[in-house]
Each structure stands twice: as structure tokens, then as C-alpha cells.
Amino acid sequence: MPVERYPHMHELIAEQDAGQAVRSPPITSNAPAGVDPPYPPGGVGPFSFSRPPRLVFHLVLALATAPLLLAASSPAGGRFLWMLGSVLILAAAGLLWLVWVGLWFSARRRNFAVGSSRWFILAPVAGAVVVAMLAFDVPLHLRWSQARPAFDRFVEESATQGRVEPIELDTPSRMGTYVIDRAERLDGQTFVFLDTSSSPRPFLTSAGFAHLPDGPRHDLPVMNVLGGERVEYRHLVGDWYTFSAYW
């Protein structure tokens, strides 16, 4: 149809184009002019590297740390495979955290990062707390404080006077949360042995708790009871010590 027959056709077409421009919102992008829209590294969604690590990541860290804390709460240590798995998971998580930090801050510079950078502080702070707890034997003292009444009661009930030769004592299978292997008394000193069959410590022959009113001894009768060639004592509280005997 010739446009000359309808002199106002150009005005109508212009009005229609203007109405469509108002009704259709423009497509915006954070990218600079002439650059394709950025896409977050690691993909999108709740587990992408454009978000800081939150509940799942820190829950995995807590579960991986538990075997180490449990091993530190006993003179015999923990189970070797559990501790090995814990160390490997924590090492992998540490490497992942470093990569995550770099990618997240890179994403923030490109204006598509989500969440607060404060989440990245949680893992290092928690790691420092765990290291401090291990350095000061906090797991051992906490667990021992719960079990000590049972050990004190056992020593009182099994006390013998004037026995120089070692005598094996009747023991319960558990004192507090510790599984007991056996106990022996030698010249007023009581040694309570824990199960060391799965201990990760090399050359360990026996480990447990010792009630030593006169302090630690390293003479031959004691070594015959404990086994091995040398013994290490660590003071807990009062007359109680931990011991570890090695070849």
C-alpha cells in the first residue's frame, strides 16, 4: 500500500516503536562496553566459588577434626586409619580454601561475587583454636576430668600394702569413657592400661594412666610391668600421670 496515500503513516509507526520501547525493559549487564557478560568461575548456584564457604564446608571440617581431638584425649592415641583420613581431608580442605579465596575475590572485582568475606575468617580461626587445644592437651584434660572419679574409686578399692611384686587387678571394662585393657599394681603404684592395638604411634608397647604417689619411676620392676625399653610420663593432676612405654 503506497505511503503517499496515508500522510500520517510515519507518525503512527514512530508512536508504535516508542510504545514498545517503554513496555520492554532494556537488557543490562555489569560488563564494560564491548565486553561479553562475565560468568562466575566454578559455575553458579549455592556451591559455586562466587559464594563464600558456609555450612557444608565448615561441617566437613568439623567432622574431619573430630578424630584428631579424640586421639588427643587418650594416652594411647586414636585409630590409625581414622587419623590418616582426617589429616588427608583437612589438607584437601585447606587447599580448596586457598583456591576458593582467590576465585571469590576475583569474582568480587568483577562484580558478581555473593556473600560476605567474613565467612573466610571462620576456618582459619577455628584451625587456630584446634591447634591451641592440641598444644595444651585440652581434649585429654576434659575427658580425664569426666573419668577421674572412676579411677580414684578403683585405686581406693584395690589398694594393697607391702606388695613389691606386681599383681594384676580386677578391672571393669570401662572407666568413664576409656576402654580398659588391664591394670597392675607394683609397690604402691597403680598402672591402668588402655588398648593400644590400633595406635598410630610407632614402637608403642603400652599406654594408659598411672597413680604414682611417690612420682614416676624408671627402674627395672616398673619396666617389666610396662614393657619396652623406655617410658614417658606426663603429669595430669595430683598423683595421676599418663604413661607411654616404647621399645
Q: Which of 115, 136, 157 is the last residue of a domain?
A: 136
pLDDT per residue rounded down to tens, the chain (247 residues): 444 554 554 554 455 555 544 444 443 334 444 434 444 444 444 457 888 999 999 999 999 999 999 999 999 988 888 999 999 999 999 999 999 999 999 888 888 888 899 999 999 999 999 999 999 999 999 999 999 999 999 999 887 666 668 888 988 999 999 999 999 998 888 999 998 877 777 788 899 999 999 899 888 889 989 988 899 999 999 999 999 999 8
Statement to judge: residues 129 and 51 lie in one domain: yes
Q: Which of 136, 171, 192 is the last residue of a domain?
A: 136
pLDDT of amino acid 22: 44
Q: Is 236 helix (H, G, I), strand (E, B) or coil?
A: strand
Q: Which of 88, 119, 136 is the last residue of a domain?
A: 136
Statement to judge: residues 93 and 49 lie in one domain: yes
pLDDT of amino acid 217: 86
pLDDT of amino acid 143: 96
Write down the pTM of the prediction.
0.75
pLDDT of amino acid 162: 62
- For residue 27, being part of any structural domain is answered with no
Say how far apart CA 208 and CA 193 lie, in whole Å: 5
Residue 215 · residue 229 · CB < 8 Å: no
Statement to judge: residues 42 and 126 lie in one domain: yes
**208 bridge partner residues:** 193, 243
- For residue 169, being part of any structural domain is answered with yes
Say how far apart CA 155 and CA 119 lie, in whole Å: 49
**Could you list the residue range(s) of the whole structural domain that residue 154 is in?**
140-246
Q: How far is CA 166 from CA 46, 194, 213, 243, in A?
A: 63, 18, 16, 17
Say how far apart CA 182 and CA 146 lie, in whole Å: 20
Statement to judge: residues 240 and 145 lie in one domain: yes
pLDDT of amino acid 155: 92
pLDDT of amino acid 119: 94
pLDDT of amino acid 8: 53
Statement to judge: residues 183 and 152 lie in one domain: yes
pLDDT of amino acid 113: 84
Structural domain count of the chain: 2
